[in-house]
Amino acid sequence: MTTERAHRTPPLRAVVFDVGNVLYGWDIGLLYRKLIDDPARLRWFLAHVVTPAWHFQHDEGRPSAETVAELVAQYPAEDALIRAYVPRWLETISGPLPGMIEIVEALAARGVPLYAITNFSAEFWPGFKASAPVFEHFRDVVVSGVERMVKPGPAIYQLALARFGLQPGEGLFVDDRIENVRAGEVHGFPGHHFTGAGRLRLRLEADGLLKK
């Protein structure tokens, strides 16, 4: 009996969200569709110049002054468009995903502790957070660019457990990327692969974190 209790998984008592494409939509094309009229040129630019892989360097902690200078050197003809990215970055955010603010508010109303682990630039995070009042409900957010560690690497999950004061198994981790969910499960966070608010709500109800 004692051995069984020692190995029993603790009940879920918190929810840990990803941010981009879970709470808020993110799409580099939202900005550049305003700046590039020709569809073929737009497709080329998003595939070869300002790409998610290029942006991910910011999530890893690289300063935009370095990444922009490197990209301009590689594509000098695209100088103006590349330099538009940082000051207009908020225009890549489409807004809250349908139903997600309501879920966060319902969890907060029930007193469920809310946290986030996000791959996000340290430079872009303050301005984005200021534009998103939903984060008033969150007790803490681990930002990859600040910590210089990213999902799905193990270090960011280990840091989050310690920072959030959670025991392994106590925080449901919600992410749209399956590799991040699987890594979280290995490192103490039961996972939910996010595909929409409806399915997430059903999971939260099944786990007793929301009322049916």
pLDDT by residue for the chain (212 residues), tens only, comes to: 333 344 457 899 999 999 999 999 999 999 999 999 999 999 999 999 999 999 999 999 999 999 999 999 999 999 999 999 999 999 999 999 999 999 999 999 999 999 999 999 999 999 999 999 999 999 999 999 999 999 999 999 999 999 999 999 999 999 999 999 999 999 999 999 999 999 999 999 999 999 98
CA 87 to chain centre: 20
Q: How is the beta sheet containing 140-143 ordered, strand by strand?
A: 140-143, 114-118, 14-17, 171-175, 191-193
The pair of structure tokens assigned to 101 is 């603010």
E-only strand ranges, 36-163: 93-96, 114-118, 140-143
pLDDT at res. 1: 38
- 156 and 150 Cβ atoms separated by less than 8 Å: yes
Going by the DSSP 8-state scheme, the letter that residue 20 receives in this structure is B
pLDDT at res. 10: 83
- 123 and 63 Cβ atoms separated by less than 8 Å: yes
What is the pTM assigned to this prediction? 0.92
The pair of structure tokens assigned to 46 is 């998003």
Cis preceding linkage at 152, omega within 30: yes
pLDDT at res. 7: 46
- From residue 110, alpha-carbon distances to 15, 57, 168, 189, 210 in Å are 12, 37, 22, 21, 8
Angle, helices 197-206/100-109, rounded to nearest 10 degrees = 20
pLDDT at res. 158: 98
pLDDT at res. 201: 98
- Residue position matching structure tokens 């103006």: 80
Distance CA 116, CA 141 (A): 5
Q: How many residues does the chain have?
A: 212
The pair of structure tokens assigned to 189 is 């966070």
pLDDT at res. 8: 55
44: left (phi over 0), alpha (psi -120 to 50) or beta: alpha
CA 129 to chain centre: 12
